């Protein structure tokens, strides 16, 4: 952890909604005119797409399916090193995972390479003179016998919807934006379950703030093809484990229709459609303090 070069990390499972939270942070950073070093979580996977398919089939034959949640499919050590080095002197190395043809064109033009979707760009030094590092991905708060990523983070935020919402969101995203059938996504969820329990959920004991979305509609069978519950059909339970956040003051700044209340001294509950407002009210002063301490 560092006062001069702070690291902010948003961590959550596939389908949890971390990208939504990332956009909220980016708005705060833009309003503060901060120069941010963005780190993409999937760039710290160990295998490119084609190699991962081979490794998955090998592991399936051996009786334990390799998944992107697992330690041996990721570079936890490199992620810890990046956070630590950035905290010490504002330097480090990162890379990108290419998701699409558009990203391939962008990075190939920048690097003079001929990379395709599913491949990594080469490791490169991060830009100099940044104010803050921001990570969003699966493992921003992980802690194992071999790596302590969480210990290098100044503000660690968990995005943790009810698991049924998480699965509904994942099935919807992967079938609408990626070339998967519902049956294939269900198989992925099942394959990942042990690693989900071992590497994803323990992170939320390490976080400073958790945003936990729960449904107000029936999500009993997330595999039935139902629509993703809207924010209006959800509540968000936000738990804070750091000093300096006045939850009653946050609640008082919300309109009556947010239906905000304190469940206890560390937990604020409110309508899901006001999650962005709560993030802005709650997180902006924390970012201000991180910048003041530099």
Q: Which residues contact 270 (CB under 8 A, 6 or more apart)?
A: 235, 236, 238, 251, 254, 258, 259, 260, 261, 278
Q: How far apart are CA 45 and CA 282, in angstroms?
A: 31
The crossing angle, in degrees rounded to 10, of helices 182-195 and 163-176 is 130
Query: What is the reported pLDDT for 222?
Result: 95
Sheet-wide strand order for 155-159: 36-40, 132-137, 7-11, 155-159, 209-215, 234-240, 267-271, 261-264
Dihedral of CA atoms 78, 81, 82, 85 in degrees, nearest 10, equals -160
The CA distances from residue 233 to 81, 133, 214, 267, in Å, are 41, 33, 9, 20
Q: How far apart are CA 140 and CA 8, in angstroms?
A: 9
Query: What is the reported pLDDT for 2?
Result: 60
Q: Which residues contact 283 (CB under 8 A, 6 or more apart)?
A: 24, 25, 28, 157, 209
Query: What is the reported pLDDT for 1?
Result: 58
Query: What is the reported pLDDT for 243?
Result: 94
Domains of the chain by start residue, with CATH:
7-91+126-292 (3.40.50.300), 92-121 (no CATH)
* 161 and 13 Cβ atoms separated by less than 8 Å: no
φ, ψ for residue 216, nearest 5 deg: -110, 5
Query: What is the reported pLDDT for 126?
Result: 97
* 86 and 133 Cβ atoms separated by less than 8 Å: yes
Query: What is the reported pLDDT for 266?
Result: 98
Kindly give the confidence (pLDDT) of every residue in the chain, 294 residues in length, as a single tens digit, with 9 standing for 90 and above. Answer: 567 999 999 999 987 888 889 989 999 999 999 999 999 999 999 999 999 999 999 999 999 999 999 999 999 999 999 999 999 999 999 999 999 999 999 999 999 999 999 999 999 999 999 999 999 999 999 999 999 999 999 999 999 999 999 999 999 989 988 788 999 999 999 999 999 999 999 999 999 999 999 999 999 999 998 899 999 999 999 999 999 999 999 999 999 999 999 999 999 999 999 999 999 999 999 999 999 987
Best CA proximity match to 34, nearest among 23, 26, 42: 26
Query: What is the reported pLDDT for 15?
Result: 77
SS3 207: coil
Q: How far apart are CA 58 and CA 35, in angstroms?
A: 43
What's this model's pTM, rounded to 2 decimal places? 0.95
* 75 and 95 Cβ atoms separated by less than 8 Å: no
């Amino acid at each position: 952890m560092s006062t001069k070069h702070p690291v902010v990390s948003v961590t959550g499972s596939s389908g949890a909604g971390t990208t939504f939270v990332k956009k909220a942070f980016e708005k705060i950073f833009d309003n503060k005119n901060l120069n941010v070093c963005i780190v993409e979580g999937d760039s710290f996977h160990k295998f490119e797409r084609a190699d991962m398919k081979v490794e998955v089939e090998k592991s399936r034959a051996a009786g334990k399916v390799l998944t992107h949640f697992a330690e041996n499919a990721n570079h936890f050590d490199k992620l810890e090193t990046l956070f630590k080095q950035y905290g010490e002197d504002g330097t480090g190395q990162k890379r990108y995972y290419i998701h699409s043809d558009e990203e391939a064109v962008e990075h190939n033009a920048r690097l003079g390479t001929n990379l395709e979707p599913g491949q990594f760009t080469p490791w490169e030094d991060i830009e100099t003179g940044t104010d803050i590092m921001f990570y969003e991905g699966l493992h921003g708060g992980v802690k194992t016998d071999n790596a302590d990523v969480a210990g290098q983070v100044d503000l660690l935020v968990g995005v943790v919807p009810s698991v049924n919402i998480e699965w509904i969101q994942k099935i919807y995203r992967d079938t609408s934006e990626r070339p998967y059938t519902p049956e294939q996504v269900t198989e992925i969820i099942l394959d990942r379950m042990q690693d989900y329990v071992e590497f994803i959920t323990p992170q939320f004991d390490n976080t400073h703030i958790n945003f936990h979305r729960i449904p107000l509609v029936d999500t009993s069978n997330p595999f039935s093809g139902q629509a993703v519950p809207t924010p209006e059909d959800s509540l968000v339970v936000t738990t804070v484990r750091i000093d300096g956040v006045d939850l009653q003051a946050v609640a008082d700044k919300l309109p009556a229709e947010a239906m905000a209340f304190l469940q206890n001294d560390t937990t604020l509950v409110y309508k899901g459609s006001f999650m962005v407002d709560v993030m802005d009210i709650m997180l902006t002063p924390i970012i201000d303090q991180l910048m003041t301490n530099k």
